[in-house]
Structures are given as structure tokens and as C-alpha cells.
Amino acid sequence: ETGVTQSPTHLIKTRGQQVTLRCSSQSGHNTVSWYQQALGQGPQFIFQYYREEENGRGNFPPRFSGLQFPNYSSELNVNALELDDSALYLCASNPTVGGGYTFGSGTRLTVV
């Protein structure tokens, strides 16, 4: 299997709800990073997981959390959704922490 697959592609949630976004990485990709890309801006680093452990976090509150699984899939969970959480969420994976990352096409989250 090649590429990074994210699901769903689009999602609409109500303020205060919780959401789970999913990412399926290539086999052997032990590192996954999640980014938030607001409209008209560049991606902002949320956090990174390496071998199922968090390996660094950007300037995001604790209501943003993640999981990485042994089958190279991962999740981004966001609790207590706010309107400003509306964005494109990207995951990117790599076999190691160095080198080039492969990005998925993203999940477009709209909070109303």
C-alpha cells in the first residue's frame, strides 16, 4: 500500500462536540505528524507521534489529542470544538523522524 489516506474528507460538527479524524500511513512509516491549516494560512504543527509515543507538540491546547496504532494508522481527537477549529487537518508520515514526509490530502472540518 502506498500513500497517506485521511478520512473523512469533509466533516461538519457543532460547537462543543467532539471529533475524531483518521490517517492511514504507508507500511513502515513509524512517524506521523498532524497539522492544522486554516483558510489562507500555512499549516501549523499540532503534534508528532513516533512508535506510538508523542514526540513533540506545537502550541495547541490539551483538547487536541492523538493516538498512533501499530498498524500505521493514527487519530487526531478534538474535544469541545470551537468555531476557530474550522480548518483543513493534514497528516504526514515518514519511516523515521528525519527525511521527507508524505502528506495526505487532508480532512476539511467545519464547526458551526
Partner 1 sequence: AQSVTQLGSHVSVSEGALVLLRCNYSSSVPPYLFWYVQYPNQGLQLLLKYTSAATLVKGINGFEAEFKKSETSFHLTKPSAHMSDAAEYFCAVTLNTNAGKSTFGDGTTLTVKP
CA distances from 42 to 26, 38, 53, 73 (A): 24, 7, 26, 24
Helices first, then strands: H and E counts in the chain: 0, 11
Residue type present at position 85: D
**Minimum gap (Å) between residue 73 Cβ and partner 1:** 17
Q: With respect to partner 1, which residue has the nearer C-beta, 16 or 28?
A: 28
Alpha carbons 44 and 28: distance in angstroms, whole number: 25
Q: How far is the CB of 5 from partner 1 (least distance, A)?
A: 10
- The residue among 42 and 62 lying less far from partner 1, judged by its C-beta, is 42
> Which of 78, 87, 90, 111: binder of partner 1 (CB under 8 A)?
90
97 lines the binding site for partner 1 (CB under 8 A): yes
- List all residues 6 or more positions away from 71 whose beta carbon is below 8 Å from its beta carbon: none
Under the rule (CB under 8 A), what is the footprint of partner 1?
A: 4, 31-33, 35, 40-45, 48, 56, 58, 90, 92, 94, 97-101, 103-106
